[in-house]
Amino acid sequence: MRIGVVTFPGSNSDVDSLNAVTIAGVEAVSLWHESPDLHGVSAVILPGGFAYGDYIRAGVIARFSPVMGGVKEFAAAAGLVLGICNGFQVLAEAGLVPGALLRNRSLRFAGRLVDIKPERLDSPFTRSATGAPMRVPVAHGEGCYYADEAMLDELEARGGVLFRYVREDGTPATDPDEPANPNGSLRAIAGVCNAAGNVAGLMPHPERMSEAILGTDGGLGVIRSLIESAAEWEAAGRPHAPGRAVAPAKTKVEAGR
């Protein structure tokens, strides 16, 4: 099986993602931004970085990259897509996940370790997680998750919140100004998925915590979850499950910016 990792101009975690996929035991394939061809991969990762320099705002130029045409078609056919940090921003700008990523509440770049905890263990992106908090790094200037109250309520009701920022005791860091919430995200949301459940965005970097030599390999559970879910999808003949092709989520402007 092969997992694709997109490289945009300005990506800086593509190699980390390729490495994490390799450590997890499958072939990692680099996908270039200028081509919509995904080369038959079983899942796609949009990595962290500053795609196209994040000019105008993070992810807004990358959403028009040729490779995103292929990613959108793949997602519409029930393929699994994971966006990490800048990849999350690109997915949000493309309308493939709900909500928006705004400037950090502090108006400063956040680069440190944080604790996140999966909200559910039955998604394609969390199935191999233990349910315990994970200590992973963040590195972003526009990571504040935002959506209006109606969208937030809908997201919660359908299980669309995958990860939250948590305090040392494992409780959600719901106060936007508390240190455990590194960017002021509403309801401490660190990761979400689309209504179909096959596209997810996560602001922290699990791929940077995929080897014990880095301090912990706790982030590898997210990568393994993606791989295991993609393997099942392949084994089933790449089914296009009824109801999984959904209308794009609201863009940043529509979400209330």
Residues in contact with 20: Cβ distance below 8 Å, sequence separation at least 6, in sequence order: 206, 207, 210, 219, 220, 223
| pTM for this predicted structure | 0.93
Q: Which residue has the tokens 């690109």?
A: 90
85 catalytic residue (yes or no): yes
8 A C-beta contact, residue 12 and residue 204: no
pLDDT for residue 257 is more than 90: no
Number of neighbours of residue 57 by Cβ within 10 angstroms: 16
> For 225-237, what is the mean pLDDT?
96
> What pLDDT, in 10s, does the model give residues 4-14?
999 999 999 99
More confident residue, 249 or 45: 45
Q: Report which residue type is found at 103.
A: R
The per-residue pLDDT for 245 is 34
Confidence label for 214 from pLDDT (cuts 50, 70 and 90): confident
The closest alpha carbon to 191, from 94, 120, 141, belongs to: 120
Residues in contact with 17: Cβ distance below 8 Å, sequence separation at least 6, in sequence order: 5, 28, 45, 47, 84, 207
HSE toward the beta carbon, residue 21, CA cutoff 13 A: 28
List 93, 119, 142, 207, catalytic entry: 207
Confidence label for 34 from pLDDT (cuts 50, 70 and 90): very high
39 catalytic residue (yes or no): no
SS3 52: helix
Domains defined for the chain, CATH in brackets: 2-235 (3.40.50.880)
List 93, 119, 142, 205, catalytic entry: 205
Query: Mean pLDDT of all residues in the chain?
Result: 93
193 catalytic residue (yes or no): no
d(CA 120, CA 244): 19
Residues in contact with 179: Cβ distance below 8 Å, sequence separation at least 6, in sequence order: none
> What pLDDT, in 10s, does the model give residues 85-139?
999 999 999 999 999 999 999 999 999 999 999 999 999 999 999 899 999 999 9
Hey, which bits of 119-178 come out as E strands?
134-140, 144-146, 161-165
List 33, 85, 93, 144, catalytic entry: 85
